[in-house]
Structures are given as C-alpha cells and as structure tokens.
Amino acid sequence: MLEKEFQYYIEHENELISKYSGDYVVIVGNEITGVYQDKKKAYFDALKKYSLGNFLLKQCVPNASVQVFQSQISFK
C-alpha cells in the first residue's frame, strides 16, 4: 500500500526538497496533488478528496529512505 507514492517521492526527492523544503506534499499515484506548510491542513484537505490509504502525506526533508509512520488519532 502506497509503495507507488513513496517510490515517486524517493525518485524525485532532491527536486521536491529544492522546491518545497520543509513543506508537506500530498502524493496520489505519481502526482503531487497538494503542497502545504501545515501538516494538519494537508491531512484534512486530502481526506476531503481521497479515502485513507489512497494518498501519501510526506514532509519534504532529506533522507526519505528513513520511513516514519504516524497514526492520526483523537481522544474525546
């Protein structure tokens, strides 16, 4: 799941970091569908368009080969 999106990021990492350093990108397939400075905004905007598991939210920082997985949860 999301291998295609992560591979796209790895293949374009230098270009993306150069353009969007520190920003968050939303990747669907082989396409950047959004660029955000705020992680929460990126996540919730992506959820309006795509279901979970169908988009990758990745911060443009060096060393993408180190994968960090985070879970979005909320407590009431």
Domain count, the chain: 1
Closest CA to 39 of 11, 58, 54, 55: 58
In a domain, residue 66? The reply is: no
Please state, in angstroms and rounded to a whole number, the distance separating the CA atoms of residues 69 and 49. Answer: 21
In a domain, residue 43? The reply is: yes
67's CB contacts (< 8 A; 6+ apart) are 6
Write down the pLDDT at residue 63.
Answer: 75
Predicted TM-score of the model (pTM): 0.81
In a domain, residue 65? The reply is: no
Q: How confident is residue 62, by pLDDT bands cut at 50, 70 and 90?
A: confident
Q: How confident is residue 68, by pLDDT bands cut at 50, 70 and 90?
A: low
Write down the pLDDT at residue 43.
Answer: 94
Q: Which two tokens stand for residue 68?
A: 């960090």
Secondary structure E strands in 8-63: 24-28, 31-36, 56-59
In a domain, residue 76? The reply is: no
In a domain, residue 49? The reply is: yes
pLDDT in tens, 1-40: 789 999 999 999 999 999 999 999 999 999 999 999 999 9
Residue with tokens 């929460």: 40
In a domain, residue 74? The reply is: no
